[in-house]
Structure 1
Amino acid sequence: MEHNKEGLAPASPSAQYFNSSALSISIIAVLESEVPINDVHAMSLLKDVFLPINPRFSSIMVRNNGKRVEIKLEDHIDIPIFPTGLSPTSYDKYLDDYMSNMAMDRFPQHKPLWEVHIVKYPTSNAAGHIIFKLHHALGDGYSLMGSLLSCLQRADNPSLPLTFPSHQSSKPKNGKEKDDRTPIRSGDEGLEYRPIRVINHDILS
């Protein structure tokens, strides 16, 4: 595949369409922290680990091609301010509303198509949240989630690769594989009309 003078491959037709006036689709990933989030550590992670992973994180789209630009992290970081002294369940609602509004906002075209939102208020699920909003023109969900997961380390031993618990499929008596019931494969009627659920927060369209 040919690359332009910026060293970037041309945007695919799908990426061009995802970033058109007709359609704008983003991928939202939420990292939940058991401890309060430190701004300095978060900024260091973005600068030293996140940005170098993919050159498109430091590029804007110009005529269906990427153009490298200087990144100012403060232009991509948003730290919302909620009322202080509320209960975790109250902050659940504030976080849900914030994510709903943030998910509907379109990206400006003069800077790379990603944002990070640092929510420093404790909810029922975590002491803090880091929310990544990545435009689908940057890549497909599999590659973008792989990029995010590559930024993480194991708490027990950072030198070991990140792993997840394995899931064993249930086997009926006839010996054939059968998927376990999940929110996606629940068998319930009208499932496609229910609110979309991202991590632990409902995003209503």
Structure 2
Amino acid sequence: MDSFTEEEIAEPVNPTGESFNTSLLCAYVLGFLESEVPLDDSQTVYLLKNVFLPINPRFSSITVRDENGKMIWKRVQMKLEDHIKVPVFPSSQSTNSELYDQYFDEYISKIMMERTPQNKPLWEIRVIKYPTTSAAGTVIFKLHHSLGDGYSLMGALLSCL
């Protein structure tokens, strides 16, 4: 990633964004992209760096308090690999999609309850390479609601396609 200047970090976190990231409330937008063909994640880092991150500087920023105690967005150096998760489901003798449906559902329940670390940008991508009854593979975008509303975040993701 490029280095950033002090001027680039001064954008305040809006009140709604602040309220979605407290010890009492932590809200996420999850987007599911299902594929009819098995997934190849070899281009994921390239696409994130060259297509996703340039859409919005918040995708490469964290929230911090300024000298007045106000929350602001601060651009940070990031390691994209830390934002990409490729789960490994229990091995099976068969490629039973219904069995993978169960693993998939359990995995979704688990990630919905996890908070993203506050010391790195507030988003993750999950690449599910197992077939379910509805898809050959699934990409899950987990974006913290402080990054934007559901409409703007889904618009950003769709513009990557």
* TM-score, normalising length: structure 1: 0.70
Q: Which protein shows a greater Rg? A: 1
Give the equivalent residue in structure 2 for 1:11. 13
The offset of 1:40, in angstroms, is 1.1
1:77 corresponds to 2:79: no
Give the share of equivalent positions with the same residue, in percent. Answer: 57
CA contact (8 A) 2:9 2:72 kept: no
* TM-score, normalising length: structure 2: 0.88
Map residues 1-205 of structure 1 onto 2, 5 A cutoff: 5-6=7-8, 9-63=11-65, 64-84=71-91, 85-152=94-161
The offset of 1:8, in angstroms, is 5.1
User: In 1, Cα distance between the equivalents of 2:14 and 2:90?
Assistant: 43
The offset of 1:122, in angstroms, is 0.6
The alignment yields a C-alpha RMSD, in angstroms, of 1.3
Segments of 5+ residues of structure 2 without an aligned counterpart are 1-5, 66-70
Q: Deviations over 1:75-97 (max 9, x none)?
A: 11111001233401110111111
As a proportion of its length, which structure holds more helix?
2
CA contact (8 A) 2:34 2:136 kept: yes
User: In 1, Cα distance between the equivalents of 2:124 and 2:10?
Assistant: 21
Task: Give the letter aligned to residue 110 of structure 1.
Answer: N
Segments of 5+ residues of structure 1 without an aligned counterpart are 153-205
Task: Give the letter aligned to residue 90 of structure 2.
Answer: P
The alignment of Structure 1 onto Structure 2 pairs a total of residues equal to: 149
The offset of 1:42, in angstroms, is 2.4
Higher relative contact order (CA 8 A, sep 6+): 2
